[in-house]
Every structure is written in C-alpha cells, then in structure tokens.
Structure 1
Amino acid sequence: MLRHLLVTLALAASLASAAQAQAPAAPPAAAITTHSGLFNGQPVTYRAAVEAWRVSPGEGAASGQIITTSYVRTDPPAGPRPVIFLFNGGPGASTTPLHFGAFGPKRRLGEGAAQQMVDNPDSPLDAADLVFIDPVGTGYSRPLNPDDGQAFWTPNGDALSVKAVIADWLAAHGREASPRYVLGQSYGTTRAALIAHHGADLNLDGVLLFALVARPPGFEMPYVTSLPSFAASAWSHGRIPREGRSAQDVYDQAVQFARTDYVSALIAGASLPPAEMAAVAQAMSALIGLPTDLILEKNLRLSRADFYLNLLKDQGLRTGQLDTRATRPLDAPAQRPPYDDPGLSYTPPRPPGEVTGALPVSAAGLSAVESYFKEHLGFATAETYESLNLEVNAAWTWGQGEDEANQRLAEAMAANPRLRVFWAAGLFDLSTPAYAGRYMLDQAGVPAERLTAALFASGHSVFVDPEGLTRLSAAVRSFVAP
C-alpha cells in the first residue's frame, strides 16, 4: 500500500512544492448564521459559525490560519451538551467527506455541476454540537506566508496546531466544562491519537477513529491482518459461495483462520511441509476466491495488489482499494494516484426517497461547496476551498511519531481513566483493513472494556451507504451520550 493513501490521497512526488501555496492576506471575518433542521426525527435550531484561528505548529508565533465550521444547537435539552471536533485524513484532505457526506446538517448529492446541498437527517446535531476543522493547507486554511507551511506538514506540527484550535474554540465559546470528543478519519486517526497524546490539558472524554491507520509489523502480521478483508471482498463479488453467509460472517471466519492455521503456516516458513502448504493454500482459495496456484506461487503471502488485480482478472477488471466493490478495466488508461483507484469516488446506488432542503444553485457559478460557505453561510473570503491538496501530501515529512500513534493513544488512556475509544471500519477497505486496525489497537494496549467497535459492510468511508450512515450516526450518538 502506498504510504497513507488515506481518504483519500496518495503520495505524489512529482507535484510542485506546497510552499507555493498562497497565504491569506488577513483573517476573514467570522460568519454567523442561524438555521433549523430535522435530525434523528427531532426539530433542531442551530447556529453555524465559520471562524478563523491563528495557530503555530508548536512553539513560537502564529504562522498559520485554520478555519473551523461549527454547528451549535440553540435549543438544547437540559444537561451536559457534548461537542465533537472532526477532521479528515490525507494528509492534505479537507473535512469534506465527514462534513458533507456524513455528519454536517447538509449533505452533498450528485456529480460535477449537478451537485447540490440537501438536508441530512442523519446528522447527530440533535445530540452533540459539531466543529469541523480543516488543517493548514486544506479547506480555506493556509500558512500565513508561503514559507511557513512546511512546519505544519509533519505529524506533530499538524497535531499541535489542531489541538490549539480545539482549546481556543472551547475557551472562546465557553465550553470548557462540556464533554469533548475528537473524531478523525483515515490519517485523521493518527492526528486524533497524537492530539490525545499531546492534549492531556484538553481532558478529552473520547476519541473516535474511522478507518484506523494501522501497519502491523513483522513477516506475518501484514498478511494475516489483510486476509479477512480479502474474504469479505470476495464475498461481495460472488467469488466465493455465500451459502447464506453475510459479509460479516465470512469476515469472522477468515479472522479465525488467519489467527490459527494461516499464521502458523507463515511462521513455519520454508520448514512447512509441501502437503501442509497445499492444504493451507486450498483453504485460502476457498476463503478469498483466488486460484490455489497463484497463492502457492506467492508462498501464501498475498499483497493487497495481488488481491485487487487478480480477483476479477478473468473479467478483465480490478477492484478498488478504498472500496473493493468498485471496479475498473485492467487496461484502462493510467491515472495519477490516488485517481487510479476506482474506490476513490465510489458511491453505491442510493435508493429512491424524498430529498428535502435543496439549496439553490449558485448564481455566481460556484461549486456546491463554495456556494454553501460563501452564499449560504456568508463566509467572505477570496480563497478557494481546497478539498484535496496533493501538494501538502507531497510535502509531508514522515518519521516523526506517526507509527507510534496508537501506542500514544493507549498511554493517554492509561493517564486518563475516563477516556474511551470508538472505532469504525469497513469490511471492503483494503487501504486500512479492519482486522489490522483491531490488531493494532489490541497490541497497543487499548483496554477492551473502553473500546466500542463498529464494523460495516462498506469501504473506507463507512458512511457512503445510506443504511450505514444511519447506523453509524446512531452509534456515535450512543457513544457521546452524557
């Protein structure tokens, strides 16, 4: 897997330096508007605020500006009101998928110029206030000067700047006593773990991890932890007999096999007798739908590329990585990563149903996202919204603690007995396989009694299926309930 192909972009070394990014001339004025909606069947009035915060990547004067979009219920029921701080991954990805695909009060439907913003009845705004954070280089957030960006584009510089925004938002809005949670998707799970590590002063109540970044080490575990996702994906394409089994059933059977016969065979290595190797290969073939000969050719060690390039090879197709339900021809014209992955923009068919609250098409020709901020929320800025900034990804400095992030999260939990973790994963995600996430949480020492796990028959973004979004939103409501 390309290092951090995560919601979703891949390293693009040929891109120009991100230092060329334009710096904001001055902080835009905060935009505050009032709205109403129906969420989880409840009528809710809320205040939307788009605000600019000056930040540093640690020590020193502020050298960047982060824009947040918050939604605060103005008619909350009595009792503590949780607040969730949300961010996406990349690095270099804005909050767009979480904001307009999952939890914001409006969701984006359609493609290209036909996109529009409509009501999102699955937003958990009835139960918690929401603050969407676009890190420096994404959304409307920028370094103050072109040369200032690099300090933010490291795991710790990034995490410290976002942590500072969380602290500033809580203080500015008088919410220091509120239950508070951070929610990260994909690389955002690394950011969330590092925020928990650096942010003892935040007194977090919980960390929510969607599509956890986890790279099990060793000669065996990278293969062991990918196998269950291979099996679920083979089930989704009908390449193994379903026999009344669900995707979850097949996944669970593959986990059991991976933890027993498969890992034992890999540990044995060259000392494994040929007959036993053949038996394991046949069992793998029955689970994951690849030919026994190919599995033997690979010495039982199948990379993710081995799987997604071969599962449907007889049909001239490959599957996606981010969502294996997506396909494209094997001989399709080459594209620059991450756009070569058919799973990048995969959206399953949406069942017919009523769509309400559609915002008008921009008279100024703005995209749906730009129109939402500038025309619906009244945010006055000359910046262009950066949904996916590959230049930031190319400029990212690795090797500064990201591989130990899950361990740091476990240490934060040991220091704060109140801190809990919610983990969600898709069974059809090869970029951050579900079992790899659970394995690394277990190995890091995250206490099982303080971990809430939710698996979905979906890909990397578990909320792209309508029923998945409804279930996910309900699980999040339950997790943050006072």
Structure 2
Amino acid sequence: MRYALSVLSLIPFFAVMLAQGPGQNPQTGPRSQTRPPVADASPVVPAIEIAPSVTHHTLTLPSGAVTYTATAAQIPLRNEAGEVECRMFYVAYTKDGAEAHNRPVTFAFNGGPGSATLWLHMGSLGPKRAPMNDDGTLPNPPYEAVDNMDSWLDFTDVVVIDAPGTGYSRIARPDLASKYFGLQPDIAAFSSFIRNWLTSHKRWRSPLFVAGESYGGIRGSGLSNALFRSGVALNGFVSISGTSNFMTLDGMRGNDSTYISFFPSMAACAWYHHKLAPRFKDVASVVRETQDWIDKEYAPALQRGDSLSPKEKEHIADKMSEYLGISKKYCLGANLRVTERQMFRELLRDEGLTIGRYDGRLTGKEELLVGERGSGDPSDDATTAPFTSSLNDYLQNDLAIKTDLPYLNSGNVRPWAEPEGSYAETASDLRSVLARNQHFRALYCCGYYDLACPLNGTIYTVNHMGLDPVTRSHVSFQYYPAGHMMYIEKSSRKKLHDDVAKFEADCLSGR
C-alpha cells in the first residue's frame, strides 16, 4: 500500500542487518578481569532464514466451508555460483483436495516501494483480516484477526509475497542492495520467485494471475511482461489502486497530467464532506461530470498556461471552486493548479480537520488552522495499528512461525534505482504483453476517494498505451466508494471479491 516511504522505516532494517546473531560471544556483561577477551576476527551475520511452517485450517465462507493448507516459508534467490543472496518470504493458501491444474493461483503483493504485503494479506485476500470498523475507521484496541468472509480462497489459491527487504524477506548482505532495490531488479526478483514457487509446488499447469496494489501496479505491469518473455503466460493482472506511470503522480513544471489525474478524486472527497452544491446526488456523477469538464475545458486551459486571459482564468477558477468546494481565490492563487497535498488541508481547514491521503473520507484533527502541511495522514493512522497488531499475532499463533526477525511493514530500500532522467513507468510493458498475448486481461480496481493513486491517472495512462480497439477491450475498470485500500470499507471489500472472482472466471472461460 504505502507509496511514500517514511524515514523512520530506515531504522528497523539496519537494526536487523547489524544485530548480532547466533554464535555471538555469550559474555554479555563486563569483561572478566581474570580472563582476557576473545578476539572475533569476522563480523557475525544475522540469520535471515526462517523454518517453513505448514498448518491446516477450515474457513466457513458464504459459499461453503473451505479446507486449506497455509504454507509460510521463504524461497531463496541465488546467484550464478549458487550462493543465496536473498530470501523472499511468502504465505501460500492452497485449497485441500483441489485439482492443481484446474485451480487458479493468484500471486499478490503491495508496493511502496518498500512496503510489505500485510495490507492485502490482512485486508482482502487471506482467510483472516484486520478487525476494521465497517466504514474503515479505527476500531477500539486491542486487535485480533477475524475470519474474512470476503477471502479470495473460494475462487483461487493465494500466495502473498513480501518484497526483498520488507516483511520477513531479507537480502543476505547490505552490499547486495543494488541487485534487488530498483524498478528492474525488483521485477526480476519477483519473476524468479514465481518461477521457483511454481517448480517447488508443482503448479506449472495451473491458471496464473498476479495482483498488485499501489506501486504493485508498476511491479505487476512489468512482471506480467517479464514472465511472458521468460515463458510464463499469465491469465490476467489485477491492479488494486495501482499506478503504472509515475508521470501522472509526480508533478513538475510543464507536466499537467498530475492535475488531470487528481482532480476528479479531489472533487469526490469534496462531495463526500458536503462541500458541493445539492445538485450533486452521488459520487459517481461527480466524477463523471468533472471528467467531462476536464476533457472539454480544464485540460485545454492547462495546456495554454500563461496565455490564458484574466477572464478565462476567472472562468476556470469559478468551475474549480464549484467542483472542489474551496474558494475561487484559492484556485486563482494556485494558478489553477491545486495539488492533492494542498487539498488535504484546505478542504476542511475551517473545521480544523485534515483529510486522508489514502482515503479522503477519513479525517484527523489539527492544532492550527494555518499551514500547508497536516500533522499526519488520518487514513494511515486508521489502519497501521490494527493491521500490524493482528498480523503479528496471526503469524505467531495461527501460522506458527518461529523467528526472532521483526516483521517490517516498511523496509529500507533506498536508494531505489529508476530510469535516469525519466519517470518510472511500466505501462509500456503492460501494453507489450496485452498486444502479444490476446488471451491476457487486465482489471483496474479504483477507489473514488484515493488521493495517492487517483483513478483518473490510471485512466489517463491506459488511454495513452496505444492499444487497438480489440486489445483495449481486454482492459476493464471497477470503482469503489472508498479509498486506496478500498477493502477496509465493508461493502467495497465484498465488491472487490466479487469483481475479481468474475474477472478470473471470465479470463478462464475466454470472455
């Protein structure tokens, strides 16, 4: 989930990499005055291997009881000399008694870069989930995982994977970071993982899907193509609040696609918080109307830049104020380019509230009514504690994992290597596999109130992939009345389950 990596996340990773492991000198107190200290000629490398744990469970879903096996383990990635460079942690949920060649497998991951996959694992896909309130707000602690009635296990086996340096996945030595931390190294690591998993679990004949959230859209788009080029043909790719081109998210002078991308989602948040006129009846109509206005007026106005007359600027600012629920003066002061970060504070400034980045429905209280930056992300605050606590308890007690490694929600993967002089994008990779494999399908699942990876940015990217009409029909969209993690909201969690179940069934039937 986590698109921006906190500086605080650097601390636990290095603490693990530098911690002493088995074989350290047992003399932990002051040195004995009667015995000289023993010199240690080589530094102690902490153990990164976790013993596999296989457990058996039954989950009673609305569709019936599912008996399944949970395998929590690591897959080693080796260099050409056969040395282990990285161990990637995963939990595989496989239905007992199912015919392997008929049973789909969905490989799932979050993004970041630097995020573990606890969010999808404990929010949507797995048999257990974090105990969120039905509307996605923070529940009362303590937190214990509950049965997930919307688990994907009723239609697919699920493999949740932690990226190198996150969760329980670790590289063997710090000097290997450049081989795993970067756009292409990351895709290569996941490609190797999937091929190794298919071999070790004898699942080469199974239908295959990948599902990625947030930066997982970048990874999943590139991975779909990398796997195809290596001889692994996926049936489909599910992008959950995913992006495949950072150009639509990261602004710079002259790049107006970011304002086109975020505007409908900001308008959706304004509608949700009752800042729009009564004529707007539902969020879907707000988004449709703003998209139409962008195409006809806003995008052409942005393209003209400073050549707009004062009268034309006044007209655009009037419409922006109508759709965003903020003052015309503010829109003019922003030169008709209001960013999502400005919107966090400005929309509910008079109430002393900030809206969430991952979910604009959620709000947090601010001390001051001035300033551009909030004191935090209330949508992040709502999810971090329930997901972290319930996951760690679940891994230890239900999945019986025994390790001294801390589970890293976010890992230190900086510096992250990206194409020099350009935006990170894998839309070209996705276009390639869509064009070359006419059986392959892509589904984009987008939350209306997502101010991290907004829906219009995804639409913009797909519309610029150069697809012919037939291939373009192999890409579909679904929308949810929630944010980036749409599955924290009860109705959206069920809709996501149903949408992905239908998508995978349609892929397998050739529709």
TM range (shorter): 0.7 to 0.9
Distance 2:407 2:149 in 1: 25
Closer, same or farther: CA 17–374 of 1 in aligned 2, 3 Å: closer
Tell me whether 1:146 sits opposite 2:174 in the alignment: yes
Closer, same or farther: CA 11–181 of 1 in aligned 2, 3 Å: same
Tell me whether 1:452 sits opposite 2:485 in the alignment: no
Distance 1:462 1:58 in 2: 42
Closer, same or farther: CA 14–189 of 1 in aligned 2, 3 Å: closer
SS for the counterpart of 2:106 is strand
Tell me whether 1:177 sits opposite 2:213 in the alignment: no
Distance 2:298 2:263 in 1: 9
Superposed, which structure 2 residues align to 1:242-391 within 5 Å? 242-243=278-279, 245-331=281-367, 340-346=376-382, 367-389=389-411, 391=412
Partner of 1:471: 495
Distance 2:143 2:227 in 1: 38
- Structure 2: unaligned runs, 5 residues or longer: 18-44, 133-138
1:129 to 130, 141, 157: 157
Q: Is the 8 A contact 2:100 2:205 kept in 1?
A: no
Distance 1:421 1:105 in 2: 24
Residue 377 (structure 1) shift: 1.5
Closer, same or farther: CA 246–181 of 1 in aligned 2, 3 Å: same
Structure exhibiting the larger radius of gyration computed from Cα positions:
2
Tell me whether 1:43 sits opposite 2:65 in the alignment: yes
Q: Is the 8 A contact 2:236 2:440 kept in 1?
A: yes
2:418 to 398, 407, 430: 398
SS for the counterpart of 1:161 is helix
Closer, same or farther: CA 294–26 of 1 in aligned 2, 3 Å: closer
Residue 283 (structure 1) shift: 1.4
| Greater CA drift, 157-166 or 48-57 | 48-57
Closer, same or farther: CA 386–165 of 1 in aligned 2, 3 Å: same
Identity %: 28
Q: Is the 8 A contact 1:312 1:318 kept in 2?
A: yes
SS for the counterpart of 2:2 is coil
Q: Which amino acid aligns with 2:437?
A: N
Tell me whether 1:191 sits opposite 2:219 in the alignment: yes
Q: Is the 8 A contact 1:338 1:344 kept in 2?
A: no
Partner of 2:261: 225
Closer, same or farther: CA 459–386 of 1 in aligned 2, 3 Å: same
2:142 to 114, 122, 128: 114
Partner of 1:413: 434
| Greater CA drift, 73-82 or 280-289 | 73-82
- 1:377-403 Cα offsets, whole Å, 9 max, x none, are 1223221211223x23x4433336872
- 1:241-261 Cα offsets, whole Å, 9 max, x none, are 243611111011110101111
Distance 2:337 2:123 in 1: 36
Closer, same or farther: CA 328–368 of 1 in aligned 2, 3 Å: closer
SS for the counterpart of 1:65 is strand
Distance 2:188 2:362 in 1: 36
Superposed, which structure 2 residues align to 1:58-69 within 5 Å? 61-69=83-91
SS for the counterpart of 2:161 is strand
Residue 141 (structure 1) shift: 1.0
SS for the counterpart of 1:33 is strand
SS for the counterpart of 1:345 is helix
Distance 2:430 2:503 in 1: 18
Closer, same or farther: CA 34–257 of 1 in aligned 2, 3 Å: same
Partner of 2:34: none
Distance 1:190 1:57 in 2: 25
SS for the counterpart of 1:122 is coil
Partner of 2:192: 164
Residue 113 (structure 1) shift: 5.8
Closer, same or farther: CA 455–158 of 1 in aligned 2, 3 Å: same
Residue 165 (structure 1) shift: 1.1
Closer, same or farther: CA 206–269 of 1 in aligned 2, 3 Å: same
Partner of 1:427: 448
Partner of 1:95: 117
Q: Is the 8 A contact 1:281 1:295 kept in 2?
A: yes
Residue 306 (structure 1) shift: 2.3
Distance 2:474 2:111 in 1: 24
Distance 2:389 2:88 in 1: 21
- Structure 1: unaligned runs, 5 residues or longer: 1-5, 348-365
Residue 13 (structure 1) shift: 8.8
Q: Is the 8 A contact 1:102 1:122 kept in 2?
A: yes
- 1:304-328 Cα offsets, whole Å, 9 max, x none, are 2222221111222221221111222
Distance 2:95 2:89 in 1: 20
SS for the counterpart of 2:288 is helix
Give the paired residue count.
456
Closer, same or farther: CA 148–19 of 1 in aligned 2, 3 Å: farther
Q: Is the 8 A contact 1:58 1:157 kept in 2?
A: no
